[in-house]
Amino acid sequence: MSQVEHSPTTSRASDPDKIGTENRDEEYIPGPLMKHVQAIDKDFENAEIKEARNAAFAAAVASGGTDPLSKAAFVIYACAAAAFMCSCGNGYDGSLMTAINGMPPYQNRFNQGDSGNLGVSTGIIFSIYTIGQMAGSLWAGPLCDRFGRRAGMFIGCLMVMIGSAIISSSMHRGQFIGGRFVLGMGIAVATIGAPTYTVEIAPPHWRGRLTSLYNTGWNGGAIPAAAITLGTSRMTSDWSWRIPLIIQAFPATLVVLTVWFLPESPRWQYMHGHEKTAFDFLIKYHGNGDPNNPIVQLEIAEFRDNIKLNGSDKRWWDFKALVKTRNARWRALMVFLMGFFGQMSGNGLGYFNLSIYEALGFDTQMQFNMNLIGTCCSAAAAWFAVTLEDRMPRRKVLVWGTLCCSVLLAVNAGFSALWASYDGQDENLNVGRAGAAFFFLFSVVYAFTYTPLQSLYPAECLETTTRAKGVSMKIFVISCTSFINLFCTPIAYGRIGWKYILVFVFWDAFETVIWYFFCVETVGFTLEELDDIFSAPNPVKASKQKKKVVVKETGDVLVVEQ
C-alpha cells in the first residue's frame, strides 16, 4: 500500500462535519494529497464527485495515467494481442469442431460407428481435447512460474502447431484422437500463460479491458472458423475438413514468431529478484516514462508490500499456498466457481449448434449460416462487455446474467418441446424460428456475462505468487467440466433431445443464488489491494463498500467517510 502519514489537525470551525474542521487524517501518496473527511463543504459541492472502492487507487488515477497513444502503450497493446492469439486457438477449435462434425466427408472417415452425427464416437473425439487440457494444466503453472509467462505462451502455441499438423493429416480415427490430445495440451499451456501475462502487464486502470479482451479471442477464433467451414462445407472431399484444420495453426504461429520480442511481466521479474527491471517496466509502460507518476509510485509501493520473494512460485510442487490461509481459500473459491460455472451454464450446447438447429427444422445450409451469424452476435456482445469491464461491477453482471441465461434456456426448451410435438405434421415454422431466436439470445447473454470474465476474474482474484498455479487450477476445472459436457452432451441430446436443455435451466438458477451470496467484487481495486479485501472477515461485504471521492481542481482528493 502507499505510505501513510497521520497528522492531527486543529479545528477551524465549530461544525465537525465540514471539511478541514475536525480530527482529519492526511494520507500522502506521490502526486495528489488525499484527505479523509466527514462531509463535503459548500466550497467543494460543485467539484467532481465519484464513488470509489479504493481511495488510494482513485487518487492515483485522478492525477496520473498512461498515454494511450504513446509508443509504450502500443507495446502493451502488442502484448495483449499476443495473448489474444492464444485464446483464438481455443475458440477456433470450438466453432471448427461444431461445423466439421456435420460434414459428410468427415463423418464417413471418422464417425462410421455413430447413427447420425451424435453418439459415443463423437463424444470421444470431442472430449479427448479436454483430457489433453487436464494433462497440460498439471505442469503449465510451474512452467510459467519458473521460466516466465512468455515461455508458457511459446511452448503452448508450439504444441498447438504440432497438434494441428497431426489432425489435419489424419487418415484414421486413432491419429485424429491423438492429435486432439496434443492440441488440447498445448491450448491449456498457452491459455494459462496468456491471461496471467496480460493481467500482470496491464496498467491497473486498463486491466479490466485488456484482460477481458484476451478471452474474447475465443470469438476471434470462432468467427473465422465458422466462416471458413461455411466456405468448405460445399466441398465433397476430405479437404472440406482438412483445410480448416490446417488454418487452425495460424494464430499459434504468430505467437511463436513474436512473443520473445515482447517484455516479460514486471510482477514475474520482481518476484524473481529483478527489482530494477520490474520498476523500469512500470515507469516506461505505465507512467509515460515518469518515475514520479502517481500510478507508478502506488504500484511500486504495493509490489514491495505485497509480492513475496520466497513464495510458492519458487517450488514447482507446492500448490498448498492456494488453500493454506483463509484469504487463499476465498481466492481459490472464486477461481473454482468461475471455472466450474463458466462451463456448466449451458454454453457446452454451443458445440452442437447444428444439431439443435436441425432439431428445430432448419436445413443444412441454414444450420451453417446460423452458426456463423450466432458466433458473430456472441462476439459483438462479448466485445461490448469488454469496453465496460474497467467500471462494470462483476457481481451484478454474474448474478443477473446467469439468471437471464436460465430464463432464455427455459423459453428455448418450451418452443423446442412444442416443435417436437408436431412430429412432422402441421408444423408451425414460427415455433422453430422462435426456439432458434431464444437460443441465439442465450448465447449473446452468456457471451456478455461470462466470456470476458472467465479469464479476467480468476486472474484478478489470485495473488502474484500463486497466479499461474491458480489459473492452472481453473483450466483443470474447466477441462473436467468440459469433458462432461463434450462426452455426455452428444449422447444425452441424441437420446432425449430438448429435455436435456432443462438440466441447464435449473442449474443456472442454482448458480445465480451462489453468485449472489459468495461473489467478491474486484472492480476498483489494484491486484495488490485485493489482499485486504480477501483478508476481511466478510470479503463479499468488504468488496461492496464504497467511499465518495471529491477531486479538486488542484488534483488533490478528498475521501468522504460514510
User: Read out DSSP for 513-550?
Assistant: HHHHHHPPP-TTS-TTTHHHHHHSSSHHHHHH--EEEE
CB neighbour list of residue 12: distance below 8 Å, 6 or more residues apart: 20, 21
Cβ(154)–Cβ(186) below 8 Å? no
- Report the C-alpha dihedral over residues 140, 145, 151, 152, rounded to 10 degrees: 30
Q: What is the DSSP letter of 263?
A: P
> How confident is the model at residue 15, as a pLDDT?
37
Straight-line distance from the first to the last Cα atom of the chain, in angstroms, rounded to the nearest whole number: 21
C-alpha cell at 276: 530494477
Range 455-469 average pLDDT? 85
Average pLDDT, the chain: 80
> How confident is the model at residue 57, as a pLDDT?
66
> How confident is the model at residue 301, as a pLDDT?
82
211: helix, strand or coil: helix
Q: Calculate the CA 181 to chain-centre distance.
A: 23
Q: Distance between CA atoms of 501 and 349, rounded to whole angstroms?
A: 8
Grade residue 36 by pLDDT with cuts at 50, 70 and 90: low
C-alpha cell at 495: 437420446
Range 488-494 average pLDDT? 75
Q: Distance between CA atoms of 282 and 299, rounded to whole angstroms?
A: 8
Cβ(186)–Cβ(134) below 8 Å? no
Instruction: Name the more confident of 110 and 405.
Output: 405
pLDDT digits (tens, 9 = 90+) for 204-233: 888 888 888 888 888 888 888 888 988 888
C-alpha cell at 344: 456448466
Range 423-437 average pLDDT? 77
Q: Does residue 406 carry a pLDDT above 70?
A: yes
Residue 307 exposure: Cα atoms within 13 Å on the Cβ side: 26
If we measure between CA atoms, which residue out of 143, 238, 501 comes closest to residue 350? 501
pLDDT digits (tens, 9 = 90+) for 511-523: 999 999 999 998 8
CB neighbour list of residue 174: distance below 8 Å, 6 or more residues apart: none
CA distances from 540 to 330, 334, 533 (A): 10, 11, 8
pLDDT digits (tens, 9 = 90+) for 320-364: 778 888 999 999 999 999 999 988 888 877 767 777 777 777 777
Q: Does residue 16 carry a pLDDT above 60?
A: no
E-strand ranges in 78-205 read none
pLDDT digits (tens, 9 = 90+) for 236-255: 888 998 999 999 999 999 99
Q: Does residue 59 carry a pLDDT above 80?
A: no
CB neighbour list of residue 118: distance below 8 Å, 6 or more residues apart: 352, 355, 490, 491, 493, 494
**Interior/surface letters 182-206, b for 16+ CB within 10 angstroms, e for the rest:** bbbbbbbbbbbbbbbbbbbbbbbbb
Q: Distance between CA atoms of 420 and 301, rounded to whole angstroms?
A: 63
Give the DSSP H/E element, type plus range, for residue 407. Answer: helix 394-422
- Report the chain's C-alpha Rg in angstroms: 25
CA distances from 235 to 14, 95, 104, 167, 246 (A): 85, 18, 10, 19, 16
> How confident is the model at residue 111, as a pLDDT?
65
**CB neighbourhood size of 231 (10 A):** 13
Instruction: Name the more confident of 39 and 476.
Output: 476
pLDDT digits (tens, 9 = 90+) for 154-175: 999 999 999 999 999 988 888 9
Q: What is the DSSP letter of 170?
A: -
pTM above 0.75, yes or no: no
Range 111-124 average pLDDT? 57
